[in-house]
Amino acid sequence: MATFTYIDKIELSAGASSIQFTSIPQTYQHLYLISAGRSNVGGQGDAWLMTINGSTSVTSGNRFGAYYDPASATLTGDGGGNIYLTSGNDWTAETYGSAWFLIPNYTTTQTKTIIGRSMWGGPNPTSGRGFLVFAAGAQPANTAAITSLGFSNPDSGGTQMMTGSTFYLYGLS
């Protein structure tokens, strides 16, 4: 029978520029990572890049993350995958961006493809824009079995994942 097993949770009680699940058990078939995030970036959103075994690189030479430009209403990705992960300071404090990632066969040493989708909701109090949903995929450059997984926040606009941002890691088998 298929099982969906809770592995661990991170809930930030103070701002951070990076979160990582480390020493991930190698006993499941796939991983599933869920985030409810909020950034201190001024504006509508921020780029949080997925880090896999400490690296943000993907095979295309770009990174797995994105940002949203409220001026042009254009989602512009940082290359390999376009996932908008978080709400920004324009939103009310209780508004968090949501994201889901499936990491198939994370224990293999082959190239892996990670598929994710994200959503953030409105209407935004500044722009009036509503809900947006994105989906994208990327292949991490590091082909080793995945033992650590998380996000970093190196966007020039925001420096922190804010208190209350929450991350869940599950194992599928």
Partner 1 sequence: MADKLMKYEKNCTTGEETYTEFTAAEVAEYHEISAEIAAKKVIDEAAAIAAAEAKASGLAKLLALGLTEAEANALVK
Distance CA 114, CA 127 (A): 32
Q: In whole angstroms, how close is the CB of 66 to partner 1 at the nearest point?
A: 10
| Cβ nearer to partner 1, comparing 12 with 145 | 12
Buried b (16+ CB within 10 A) or exposed e, 111-132: ebebebbbebebebeeeeeeeb
Q: In whole angstroms, how close is the CB of 168 to partner 1 at the nearest point?
A: 11
| Cβ nearer to partner 1, comparing 1 with 156 | 156
The three-point CA angle 30-31-35 to 5° equals 155
Contact positions vs partner 1 (CB under 8 A): 7-10, 12, 14-25, 40, 47, 49, 56, 63, 67, 69, 71-72, 74, 76, 78, 150, 152, 154-156, 159-160, 169
Distance CA 94, CA 71 (A): 23
Q: In whole angstroms, how close is the CB of 131 to partner 1 at the nearest point?
A: 21
| Cβ nearer to partner 1, comparing 19 with 136 | 19
Question: Which of 49, 78, 52, 33 is closest to 153 using CA atoms?
Answer: 49
Q: In whole angstroms, how close is the CB of 18 to partner 1 at the nearest point?
A: 4
| Cβ nearer to partner 1, comparing 29 with 125 | 29
| Cβ nearer to partner 1, comparing 56 with 87 | 56
Enter the tokens of residue 50.
């997925």
Helix, strand or coil, per DSSP, at residue 16? strand
Q: What is the enclosing helix (H) or strand (E) of 42?
A: none
Q: In whole angstroms, how close is the CB of 3 to partner 1 at the nearest point?
A: 17
